[in-house]
Amino acid sequence: MSETAAQAEKPLAPRRVPQRVVSGMRPTGRMHLGNYNGALRGWIEAAKVARESFFFSADWHALTSDYKDPAGIPAAQREMFADWIAAGLDAEKNVFFIQSQVKQHAELFLLLGMIAPIGWLERVPTYKEQQEQLRDKDLNNYGFLGYPVLQTADVAIYGADAVPVGQDQVSHLELARELVRRFNHFYGKEGKPVLVEPHPYLTDSPKILGLDGRKMSKSYNNAVELGEDPESARKRIMVAVTDPARKRRNDPGHPEVCPIYYLHRAYSPPARIQEVEVGCRSAGIGCVDCKKMLLESLLPALEKHRAARAELDRHPGRVDELVRLGTEKARRVAEETMVKVRSAMGFE
């Protein structure tokens, strides 16, 4: 892949080999290309090298902003788990579970809440950002402020040392580490920690933009689903925004602001990426040509996902069963940690 300005993003911190990997996602339904490239790709990579991996639906976290209407969560969750599997996350080897089905998360959340300084929580950048961005929702609630405390419980309860996440979650994990240290400082015996400090596990997956140039998100209606049918994907790509400064065919373009270019970087072979970058900057190719070239590699990827999903959907009970088994396993591991936690604090 060619080095471009757009690629010169933050360097990755040196990574240790993960032992136990844990990560979660709020249940938003069918997965889109942004979910895959921003999170799932990293999960799949981390799970390959870790000894053990746990992946869960953060359904309680969904309530922190969508508390008014939780009715859609179970169906969204089922779609999400099935898409994880279809995208290549192995549900037999890794543990899949539902956060709200492992009550120990709530117990650890409560205990961590007792030692979580409000100032730390108010300083987490996503706290103010989200309140500003989601103005249509009232986020002045205790649960929303406590979002990163619950997230700390989610990972600490499994002794996770590595948490594959997108860059947007790094500040939550910083808080998680500080909170774990504070816990160990108060309740560790003879300097021995009770909880493990979690580190973000960042992968250099390509960044993706939504079809309107904003962050790809279901709520912006600018997302392409992983299993979207080819006709619908083709139509939506053909009308997608490109470089807004490129008004005429012979104006030179700026790939680094174009959602189509970002998709090329994630889906096209290196020679093609090079070709469209040079072609765009020199006005050698037009946006329509560039979009058609993208479809050549994107449509087969969507088709592959669709086939995998269709196969899963032929066995409707299978995903539920895997999640049921995973949840039992998660509960056992979480309870082991809680035994240690209760004992360290004298609640036996």
> Strands 199-201, 52-57: parallel, antiparallel or unpaired by DSSP?
unpaired
Q: How far is the CB of 268 from ligand TRP (least distance, A)?
A: 27
151 touching ligand TRP, by CB under 6 A: yes
Site for ligand TRP in 21-40 (CB under 6 A): 22-26
Alpha carbon 288 to chain centroid distance? 31
Q: Distance (Å, rounded) from C-alpha 262 to C-alpha 259?
A: 5
Length of the chain: 348
Q: Distance (Å, rounded) from C-alpha 223 to C-alpha 35?
A: 10
Number of residues that bind ligand TRP (CB under 6 A): 14
Beta carbon nearer to ligand TRP, 62 or 299? 62
CB 197 within 8 A of CB 232: no
Could you list the beta-strand ranges (E) of 138-214.
Answer: 162-164, 199-201
What are the φ/ψ torsions at residue 98 (nearest 5 degrees)?
Answer: -110, 125
Q: Distance (Å, rounded) from C-alpha 239 to C-alpha 227?
A: 19
Q: How far is the CB of 124 from ligand TRP (least distance, A)?
A: 11
Q: Distance (Å, rounded) from C-alpha 312 to C-alpha 79?
A: 11
Q: Which of 44, 50, 139, 163 binds ligand TRP (CB under 6 A)?
A: 163
Q: Distance (Å, rounded) from C-alpha 252 to C-alpha 103?
A: 57
- Contacting range for ligand TRP; rule: CB under 6 A; set: 19-27, 207-215, 230-238, 247-255: 19-27
Q: How far is the CB of 285 from ligand TRP (least distance, A)?
A: 36
- Contacting range for ligand TRP; rule: CB under 6 A; set: 29-37, 115-123, 147-155, 293-301: 147-155
264 touching ligand TRP, by CB under 6 A: no
20 touching ligand TRP, by CB under 6 A: no
Q: Distance (Å, rounded) from C-alpha 312 to C-alpha 295?
A: 25
- Contacting range for ligand TRP; rule: CB under 6 A; set: 128-136, 150-158, 284-292, 296-304: 150-158
Site for ligand TRP in 59-118 (CB under 6 A): 61
Q: Which CA distances in Å does 169 have to 2, 89, 151, 172, 212?
A: 27, 20, 10, 5, 23
154 touching ligand TRP, by CB under 6 A: yes
Q: How far is the CB of 342 from ligand TRP (least distance, A)?
A: 22
Beta carbon nearer to ligand TRP, 24 or 210? 24
337 touching ligand TRP, by CB under 6 A: no
CB 16 within 8 A of CB 198: no
Beta carbon nearer to ligand TRP, 23 or 268? 23
- Contacting range for ligand TRP; rule: CB under 6 A; set: 20-28, 206-214, 215-223, 230-238: 20-28
DSSP annotation of 257 reads G
Q: For binding to ligand TRP (CB under 6 A), which residues are involved?
A: 22-26, 58, 61, 151, 154-155, 163, 165, 169, 172
